[in-house]
Every structure is written in C-alpha cells, then in structure tokens.
Amino acid sequence: MLNEGGRTQALSTDFPWVTANHGYSYLDNGATTQKHHAVIDRITAFLSAEYATVHRGVYRHSMAATEACEQVRHAFQTFINAPHAHEVIFTTGTTMGLNTAAFGMANQLKSGDEIVLTEMEHHANWVPWQQVAQRTGAVIKVVPITPVGELDYEWMATHLTERTAVVSVMHVSNVLGTINDIPRIVAMARQVGAKVVVDGAQAIAHIPVDVQALGVDAYVVSGHKMYGPTGVGVLWGKTDWLSTLSPFVYGGDMIETVTVTGSTFCGLPGRLEGGTPPIAEIVGLGPAIGFLQGVGWPRIMAHDEALRLEATTRLKGLDGISIYGESSTKTGVISFGVAGVHPHDVGSILDECQVAVRVGHHCAQPLMTVLGVPATVRASFGVYNSSQDIDRLVAGLEQVMAVFR
C-alpha cells in the first residue's frame, strides 16, 4: 500500500479500463467505478454460453441461470451479514431500491406522520419521499449539518417524535465524504418507534457493512459503485419490514395467482422483484463481491484514508482552494472549489490534463444551498488510484490557476 517513500500505491490494477487508459487518472469513483476483469469475464462467459431466463424454465440452462443468480443472492447475504437470503431483493440500483422502500411504505403513512431526511441527501433519497409525503399528507423534517459537514445529532435527539415514522439517511455523503453514525441514528429512531432506511451507495465499496450490527431496517446499494455492473443493485430489509411493503412493480414473477377479478402475490423475495431481472448483471455482481472480499476491508480502508489525507494536504497547499466537509470521519471523497473559477471550467481543464473529476451539484442541490455554492469539484478514489493520480490532480489545478489568473 505504502512504499518506502511514503507514496500510496494502487491496491489492484486488474481493471481493463485502467490499463487501456494508462496515464489518465480516473477520480470519479463516487459516480461509478471501473469494472474488475473478473466481472467482465463472468458476464461475457454467461452471455456467450450460459444465458437463459430465470425462475420459470424447466430446461437445464434456465435452471442453471436461476441457480447462478441465487448464488449471488447468498453471496451478498454473507457480504453484509444479513440473517436470511430472502431478505436480499435485487433491484436496478439504489434509486430503484429507495423508490421501492418509499412507495412500499406509503400505505403505512398518514397525514401528520413525519419522514426525516437530512440536508446532505442525494436526490434519490429526496424525491421519492417528497412524492410519498404529497400523496399521504406526511411531513418531511430535515436534519441540519454542522459547519464541518456532520449531521447535527443533538438536533435529531430533540426533533424525533412519536410521529416520526421513518428516518431515511445516507451512510456516506457523496459530496462531503462524511460517514454518518448509523447505530446512533438507529438508537434514537427506536426510542420513538421509527424505521430506519439507509442509502449505502457510497459506503458499500469503502467500509464494511454489517446490517445486523447497524441495526437498520433497510439498506440499499448499487452494483456499479462497487466495481460491478450497472443496472443491478440490492435492497436489503428485515423480513418483518419487507413483508409490510406494498409491491412497487407489478407483473410477471411476483404473483401467486391472477384471475380476472384480482391477484395475489408470492412471498419474499419474489413479491418485490416483479419482471425479468437483470440476469447477466446479477451474475456479474458475484465477482465484484468476491473481489472486495479478497482485497479485504483493512487494506481498502487504509488505502482510502491514505489517499484522502494526502490529497487534502496537497490541496490545502494550493492558493484559493476551499474544501467542503472536514469531518474527522470520512471516506475518500473530497469536494472543493477554486476561487474565481466555475467548477465546469475546472473539470474541462483537468480533463485536458488527463484527470477525470466530477463537477456540478452531484444530485444534492439542497446541500449546495446549505454550502452556498451552485456546484463543487469532486475527486473520489478507488482501489486502482495511487499518489500519482494526486500528482496529476494537483498539476492540473495549477494549470487551472495559470489559465484563469
């Protein structure tokens, strides 16, 4: 991880995109990660020689494809220490998972019930709950953040009430990198009888997730944030909680019986997995899980922290850089601004300098309002990044300043 000179090395270079684009620094891992060769190879092999539909076929290829998907379900169960495999619901990603949770709970909410969100949430955790609130008469309450970019837990302690039905919060901020104290939030929610739904999109590839230790009711992730395919994700939920949800998607494979007068639905996980699933993508998620398990969380977290600290120190050494979010508990995400330069211009020049960063509001416009900026520049790190990528980022920012000043 660190060589004798204190430089951080990549944990893995087994990523074809990284090899094909040698000399280009990919620092947009918060948006999506590149794919490990084992993921690409598994999907290619499956589509080339093993592909068939799942669940309903009695021929050998269909049964084998079904078993391949179920193996991944069990692998993910182990990955997050879930009690039961049937609690692992395959979705198209975090957005679908959060919509399934929000609209699935709509039948439990009434006028005056409280839905608690936070100022740092991604739009995928804002918009579904807003829509549900409009339809049910529920009220949204928003947890503020502190000047260093942490949740105001004291505010939560005094503002969660017996009317609070659900707290929906991200585990890690996609803008600030802050790791939220989920067990603390769960403890407060339990005191008032509220459920806790967690957006784990930014956490799942950076820190270990143990849903039983966290104590949450639901945890939602995307495969493409963890070196796996796009188009697949997981909504995990406690059996009792999942069983109360109204299905979000109706149609094939989630039914028990259908007559001209009505329908009944099957049990978990099928009742929340309507339609043909993303079969190849589910199969491809398996090697991504295996890759992360093979590298191991101690190495991943140490690598993440080393890059974040090095990048933070070096960015602070540049004139006119403002870093947003300086919690002492962060993952490898750094959002910043360059004085007098629009983030889009920063991003364009960095691309010319062979560096990819994210610019914009990062689907977190309420947070941008709190920060008092229309957009930021975001650098986010993955296992294939190294100190050399930070060198390029700093050199690119120096070029930005030379052009605009």
**Closest to 79 (Cα-Cα) out of 226, 181, 231:** 226
* Contact of 208 with 171, CB cutoff 8 Å: no
At what angle are helices 387-404 and 297-316 packed, to 10 degrees?
30
Question: Is 363 assigned a catalytic role?
Answer: yes
* Contact of 94 with 30, CB cutoff 8 Å: no
At 44 the three-state DSSP class reads: helix
* Contact of 358 with 335, CB cutoff 8 Å: no
Measured distance CA(205)–CA(209) in Å, rounded: 9
208's tokens: 């270990």
DSSP H or E segment with residue 196? strand 195-199
DSSP H or E segment with residue 165? strand 164-170
Catalytic residue among 69, 266, 353, 363: 363
329's tokens: 């508990």
DSSP count for the chain of H helices, then E strands? 14, 15
Contacts of 63 (CB under 8 A, 6+ apart): 57
Secondary structure E strands in 77-194: 88-91, 114-118, 139-143, 164-170
* Contact of 334 with 378, CB cutoff 8 Å: yes
Positions annotated as catalytic residues are 363
